[in-house]
Amino acid sequence: MDKLILVDGNSIAYRAFYALPLLSNASGVYTNSVYGFTMMLLKILEDEQPTHMLVAFDAGKTTFRHKDFQEYKGTRQKTPAELSEQFPLIKQVLDAFGIPYFEKEDYEADDIIGTLARTCACKDVSVHIVSGDKDLLQLVNEDVDLLLTRKGITEMERYDSRAIEKKYGLKPRQIIDLKGLMGDASDNIPGIPGVGEKTALKLLHLFPSVEEVVAHAEELPGKKLREKVKQHREQALLSKKLATIYTEVPLSLNLDDLALKGRDGKKVVQLFERLEFNSLLSRLAKDGESNLAQHSVERTIPYQYIETDEELDAWSRFFADGEKSFFAEVTSDHPVRGKLIALAVSDGKTQLVLPAELVRENNMIRDWLTRADQPKTVYDAKTAQSVLLGSANLQVEGLSFDVLLAAYLLDPSDSHPSLSRIVNSRGDGGLPSDDEVYGKGAKRRQLEGEELAKHIARKAYYIHQLGPVLQEQLAEARLEQLMYNLELPLSSILSKMERRGVSVDKSRLNELGRELKASMDQLEEEIHEIAGVVFNINSPKQLGEILFDKLGLPVIKKTKTGYSTSADVLEKLAPQHEIVEKILHYRQVGKLYSTYIEGLRKEIGSDGKIHTQFQQTVTATGRLSSTEPNLQNIPIRMEEGRRIRQIFIPSQESWYMLSADYSQIELRVLAHLSRDKSLQKAFREDKDIHSHTAMDVFGVCEEEVTPLMRRQAKAVNFGIVYGISGYGLSRGLDIPQKEAKAFIDRYFATYPGVKEYMDRIVRQAKKDGYVTTMLGRRRYLPKINARNYGERSFAERTAMNTPIQGTAADIIKHAMVKLDQHMAEKGMKSRMLLQVHDELIFEVPEEELPEMKELVRNTMENAVELSVPLKVDVNVGSNWYEAK
């Protein structure tokens, strides 16, 4: 027996939209309705196993019912734009699943469903309707039932004739009469005023139809009810007519047209990747339905696995000219620990796969990799350069395009996307992920020979295919300058910095460790003495008992396991008892010891250096970050934290550490972008900007600015950059929220250009969906027009901050590229070692110190042209601490 499922598309789409939070993918495309709709489809396909299916949609705002009643559905609010834009995506999902859909001018989806239910239902075909609208109960009969969506989107309640009679005491066709009497506010069907479902059911249990009810109005119980029915007789009859689903729609569809064609695995994967339905992809993969490897374009990607010099000699013309792509398969992307496994090179037609030994020893491949006149496209240029430099002593030249950098520039919210994700979301086919090929965790296996060659050959092939696609997208988004003049050259600089590393004074590290341990022991002893008892300070339970039971401090917050002793709780309690300040200090010193003494010891390589990884494609603002270890998070508020920098030293005797730090770069960028005259004047005159702000906001002269005033002005200056609220400032300064808001208001009154800029950038973001830095870097803000206040407010603050912080990031990157060029042109021995926030750190031989100081300052201060001067503080010392 055939089974036909008829889905009320508009009803399910609306229900999904309002049942789920306003989801969006990284490109800002709203997806919550599509996601919910797809969840429902999968459930129907799995549970019902239909042979035929159709999703019906409303074709427009007006139908034939408007001729009888112009106000039909007139009270409905306009469909939110966030939902309307998802209907085309829902239809793309249906196309990918091979499910027919249909709409017809002048008719509603209900009418299409009603007509098909009437014409297709028979002894050989069972019909099942899916909707969230009870109106469709009227279509139920012995061959048709209704799956009514209830809570959420995938829970459904099945109604046949018996279920309707049990719930309402009515036959299915009487649902029309029920609506005629009680009306339907959602469709603006008036019914009889004052008659609800309870009264309408009571009337229909007396008389079986609207016609019968109005004909016997005089026999109805209650004078008021009798009058209402008589007075609104015509309205009740019209309401029944409006509520009746029309089952005679002229359709050219027959049952054969509704047969399920089966899903197109490739289309499903590509669409789900683009919409970022990762959980659905995993679910399908588990069911064996949508394994990415199975649904890749299973075209044969030709490759040659070359193991000897003689075999490679036959391919000399392959390397002669033309752009190639290559992929370096590595054991790890860490600059020192990562080793080359094999290299795959592609010209888009043929792929050559070379084991690491051949890359290290064969002159032809080495020559090709090091030639600047041979253009090469890669994925992750920085890692490829680092690993080839370390594993084969090759300085790769001629890198013309990086797929990873391009994907990051186009969508900076997608942190370090894998090649398979980029391919499957932007390319023309599917590429299995490394986890699918190698396995995960304990199940991870090592590939060799042909199996390895096939996998990385496919990677090189897809890199070659992606290059032109991403180049075109970069051009459309006007991101080419950022790619070719900034990020791609920077990748080479970062790879050299990673390989170079920074030397560590192990004896000083151990000495600092002993000092911190002694400080912890002293603090522990003082805390125990104040408490009057020895206890485990690191145990939240024991600490809570001491603070709240023994010492009687007020309980701020509780957890499931007892008192909360989190940092924010202790900070609130600090003014009330001396023990709390010591506990906070003890925790800070303990964290320094575990993270930066024990942690850094583990990171020192055999060369006595630490080789941090610079992450170029992680932050949404364009800032660099570092990992393994993170050298950007060394705390500098505490003296103990600042002294950690003493362990970083030059790699050679008689060399020095040079630190160059941008002074208040983000505030200078704000002054430029906002064009605020007062702020610009302060920087042009080289004023202390925080004292200057305090003078303006508090209306005092320079001599009257107190340390507290300056501290508050500093908090607002930097807070404004991050779109700080009155609440945020009140917490930061520990002042009442009202006072903090007044402070911000005075700030904006003092610097009206800043307020105008903030308002302007938010308006622009709401219109465009993204913001840009001075150099054109984009950040998309999918929640900028969200209905949810919290989501929208966060997006607005991000809109205010990103052009400032992103421009500051672009400036220091630009300075790094220029400095690297200048140092190379001058043949200098000095080396760039680290980039930490707004600071660059170098190691410099004594004889180059004067020239380097001048070169670094001039290059950094003139990296870009602003309406206010950039200022750089340059210092020198025997270690990083002294240079800072």
Q: What is the pLDDT of residues 700-738, one digit of tens each?
A: 888 888 888 888 888 888 887 777 777 677 767 777 778
pLDDT of residue 769: 87
Which range, of 285-289, 370-374, 448-452, 774-778, averages the lowest pLDDT?
285-289
pLDDT at 658 over 60: yes
**Cβ proximity of 642 and 648 under 8 Å:** no
Q: Give the distance, in angstroms, between the CA of residue 96 and the centroid of all CA atoms in the same chain.
A: 25
pLDDT of residue 490: 97
Query: Backbone dihedral region of 835: left (phi > 0), alpha (psi from -120 to 50 degrees) or beta?
Result: beta
Tokens 């001629």 -> residue: 398
pLDDT at 546 over 80: yes
HSE, CB side, 13 Å, CA atoms: give it for residue 164: 25
Average pLDDT rounded to a whole number, residues 656-683:
93
pLDDT of residue 651: 93
Q: What is the pLDDT of residues 176-220, one digit of tens each?
A: 888 888 888 777 787 888 788 888 888 888 888 888 888 888 788
pLDDT class of 293 with cuts at 50, 70, 90: very low
Q: How far apart are CA 625 and CA 413, in angstroms?
A: 15
Cβ atoms within 10 Å, residue 607: 12
Percent of the chain with pLDDT over 90: 39
pLDDT of residue 426: 59
**Cβ proximity of 107 and 246 under 8 Å:** yes
**Cβ proximity of 817 and 659 under 8 Å:** no
pLDDT of residue 526: 93
pLDDT class of 295 with cuts at 50, 70, 90: very low
Average pLDDT rounded to a whole number, residues 754-772:
91
Return all residues near 66 (Cβ < 8 A) that are at least 6 apart: 72
Tokens 């404004």 -> residue: 720
Q: How far apart are CA 226 and CA 204, in angstroms?
A: 14
Mean pLDDT (the chain) is 86
pLDDT of residue 761: 93
The DSSP string of 571-622 is HHHGGG-HHHHHHHHHHHHHHHIIIIIIHHHHHB-TTSEE-PEEESS--TTS
Q: What Cα–Cα distance (Å) separates residue 696 from each residue in 501, 676, 693, 723, 729? A: 46, 14, 5, 20, 18
Higher-pLDDT residue of 287 and 486 is 486
pLDDT class of 298 with cuts at 50, 70, 90: very low
pLDDT class of 290 with cuts at 50, 70, 90: very low
Average pLDDT rounded to a whole number, residues 365-375:
91
Ordered domains of the chain (ranges, CATH): 2-258 (3.40.50.1010), 296-501 (3.30.420.10), 503-610+619-649 (1.20.1060.10)
Average pLDDT rounded to a whole number, residues 598-616:
91
Q: What is the pLDDT of residues 816-835, one digit of tens each?
A: 999 999 999 999 999 999 99
Q: For the chain, how many residues are written? A: 884
Q: How far apart are CA 807 and CA 662, in angstroms?
A: 13
Average pLDDT rounded to a whole number, residues 637-650:
88
Tokens 């800032």 -> residue: 623
Cβ atoms within 10 Å, residue 45: 17
Burial degree of 818 (CB within 10 A; 0-12, 13-18, 19+): middle
Which range, of 266-275, 310-319, 575-584, 843-852, averages the lowest pLDDT?
266-275
HSE, CB side, 13 Å, CA atoms: give it for residue 131: 26
Percent of the chain with pLDDT over 70: 95
pLDDT at 559 over 80: no
| 3-class DSSP state of 460 | helix
pLDDT at 67 over 90: no
Highest mean pLDDT among 100-114, 149-163, 693-707, 789-803: 100-114
Cα dihedral 452→366→480→458 (10° resolution): -20
> Omega of the bond prior to 650 within 30 degrees of 0, cis?
no
pLDDT of residue 881: 92
Return all residues near 536 (Cβ < 8 A) that are at least 6 apart: 542, 543
The two beta strands, 156-159 and 144-149, are antiparallel
* DSSP bridge partners of 259: 52
Q: How far apart are CA 831 and CA 843, in angstroms?
A: 5
| 3-class DSSP state of 188 | coil
Average pLDDT rounded to a whole number, residues 739-757:
86
Give the residue ranges of DSSP H helices in 449-547: 449-476, 480-481, 488-500, 506-531, 540-544
pLDDT class of 55 with cuts at 50, 70, 90: very high
